[in-house]
Structure 1
């Protein structure tokens, strides 16, 4: 059975257009409640949200839908996605629900779920929910309706959890840190975490108004952070996205570090402390230099499909701890069950403080390969996989690049576009083959 509503990370779309409407979200919560009650007599669900104005409406719809199925609800208010994962586990709840569209603009929103362990749910569960959605609702009678309460100190509990992932014998004293919360879910949390660990904190992107989430700030607009670090003479800058599961960092020189570099830094830091790092999971888009550098240190590197969900699946299958994407979704499974930008930033800063080195010094042995990405618009009748001239050109490019580069061709999941990516040690080589492949694909 093919999923109708669930994508790679829950259900997402434009507010007011199906499926992100209050009537559908109410029915969704009711269906989820019915699925939960197949295995639990009295489930409890936690609901957190980011700072979008539509969160109020969708929160009310979820609450009503769960209550109507006989499920109790605990409201967390605005908290990061990873906070919901942690609190679901800490509160021994049946399920965690997040109202967020992550790095999307404010007009979008979405619903995603965590199981009782704070992990993302499998396809089978999502299919069960979609099957329940297709059935008529079964409203419980008044005596069996669910109740709702608010966890008033949700933010404080999560702040303490984040701090607990940082070494007890270290502090951030002496560091000036710019924290950009993207006007999102961590606006009242991230600055406190770094301040309480000793840093001098400069806040930007911490004034949400319901409409400005991710607008020219945060991990998707890191140049705002770069400018702020330079303007304030800060030692480091930390940018989160709207739901605080994505991270970008900047050093005192204004140099931006993406998820690929930070992932390598975390793995190399553990190796330097004689910890066992059997392997690291990246994606099809992870820079080839990371793969080569890790393999040179005896660490296996595996690529998953693009999306932190697939990185997580591969980590769990192999029982490894470290994985991530260039976008800044980093997974550190012995610290948190899902991507957590604050926890990831703390692990990077911990490596810097412990070693007495900057991010640039810790990464001086890693030189990223140039990557060239060209989008080619496809005709409705065009099948790139059976396009013989393109396949021949791909084979020729890969032969020419050898082990010093690679070609990645993939179709967009949301637009009629073919994404042509070439990576090579030399920028000119990458540009040459990317242009040739794009020309052949468009012909």
Structure 2
């Protein structure tokens, strides 16, 4: 992270990696006045709890709400239950016994079936599931259905649009967010700007365009009015606030987003040739886009970390996009597939 709380950009990270892996860092010997100092904050938990609570309206209480929480044996194992209880909620907590080895182990947002179980077992109004470092969150409604980052982003966007607080009437999402998000915001006078996958790119775009809301389907949601990066409890509190304000259960709030069906294919490849050189594949992509007639989209990209190519097609008719995905996947396999 930078000094101002935002993530380092790619260029700086690459420069640091180059220094480390080249061995050049071993020859760098800064003088004492250029070396940073570590400071222990004795009441870090208490200070963070007060910070999180400050994102929730004064005078609003969660006293009538039962909240189930899966803290993934991770960073928020104390803070999230504490924040919710101090705001008046009846809290049922699970996976809050970290031992340094059990983080994300069969729990948290990486295992959403667990928060579904906890919600139903406790008769909760809502469930909150963090990942290990608690920068993201998935929610679970009172019926035991998962509410993902796209749905959270839609709920928050409409609330901010309604009150005139969504900067430039625009939210930021990645290319992987459901196309229904664009339609939902457009129907209410808003729009979606998309970035490549990664919360750092969402935040960069938010800063660049001076926007205050963005996020990913995975549950990284950034409320820039409160913080400079994803924060799971801040995100959850904003949804709880909207539930309280509207008097609506989460199962009803999430209906604001009508998701498009998706067909996804992930294929191993022997090489990452420029997509423009895959003429047969790109012709099929163009054909699919024409068939969708603006009521869907085709996304084809190489993985940044694996020898794979990822295909995503969204459209109103699942049968149609499945057939399109199969045709494109077959062409990819013939051109650059493994085996």
8 A Cα contact 1:267 1:277, kept in partner: no
Given that residues 171 and 193 in structure 2 are in contact (C-alpha distance below 8 angstroms), is that contact kept between their aligned partners in structure 1? yes
Local SS of the residue matching 1:201: strand
The separation in 2 between residues aligned to 1:426 and 1:142, in whole angstroms, is 65
Distance 2:13 2:180 in 1: 36
Q: Residues 145 and 266 (structure 1 numbering): CA distance in 2 closer, same or farther, change over 3 Å? A: closer
State the match for 1:226 in structure 2. 116
C-alpha spacing 1:122/1:365, structure 2 compared with 1 (3 Å): closer
For the residue of structure 2 that corresponds to 1:373, the secondary structure is strand
Report how far residue 413 of structure 1 moved. 1.1
Normalising by structure 2, what TM-score? 0.92
Q: What is the match of residue 159 of structure 1?
A: 49
Query: Is 1:441–2:332 an aligned residue pair?
Result: yes
Cα gap change, 1:144 to 1:323, in 2 (>3 Å): closer
In structure 2, what is the equivalent of residue 345 of structure 1? 236
**1:239 pairs with 2:129:** yes
TM-score, length of structure 1 as denominator length: 0.71
1:264 pairs with 2:151:
no
Larger mean CA deviation between 264-273 and 243-252 belongs to 264-273
Deviations 1:383-417 (A, max 9, x none): 54411110110010010011111100011111111
Query: What SS does structure 2 have at the residue aligned with 1:353?
Result: helix
Q: Which residue of 1 aligns with 2:9?
A: 122
SS of 1:403's equivalent?
coil
Aligned pairs (5 A) from 1:277-292: 277-278=167-168, 279-292=170-183
Root-mean-square deviation over aligned CA pairs: 2.0
Structure 1, unmatched stretches of 5+, are: 1-113
Shift of 1:276: 4.5
277 and 357 in structure 1: CA distance in 2 versus 1, 3 angstrom threshold: farther
1:150 corresponding residue in structure 2: 40
Alignment of 1:400-415 (within 5 A): 400-415=291-306
8 Å Cα contact 1:281/1:302 also seen in 2: yes
Quote the Cα distance in structure 1 between the aligned partners of 2:42 and 2:75. 16
User: 1:363 and 1:142 mapped to 2: Cα distance?
Assistant: 54
CA distance in 1, matches of 2:122, 2:149: 24
The question of whether the paired residues in 2 share the 8 Å contact of 1:246 and 1:340 is answered with yes
In the alignment, the residues of structure 2 paired with residue 323 and residue 189 of structure 1 have an alpha-carbon distance, to the nearest angstrom, of 24
Provide structure 2 residue ranges, at least 5 long, that are not aligned to the other structure.
335-339
Q: Write the distance in 2 (CA, Å) between the matches of 1:276 and 1:210.
A: 40
Structure 1: distance between partners of 2:34 and 2:10? 30
- Distance of aligned partners of 1:175 and 1:127 in 2 relative to their CA distance in 1, 3 Å threshold: same
**Pair 1:427-2:314 in alignment:** no
The CA deviation at 1:434 is 1.2
Q: CA deviation at 1:155?
A: 1.4
Say which SS state the counterpart of residue 110 (structure 2) adopts.
coil
Partner SS, residue 27 of structure 2? coil
- Paired residues, number: 330
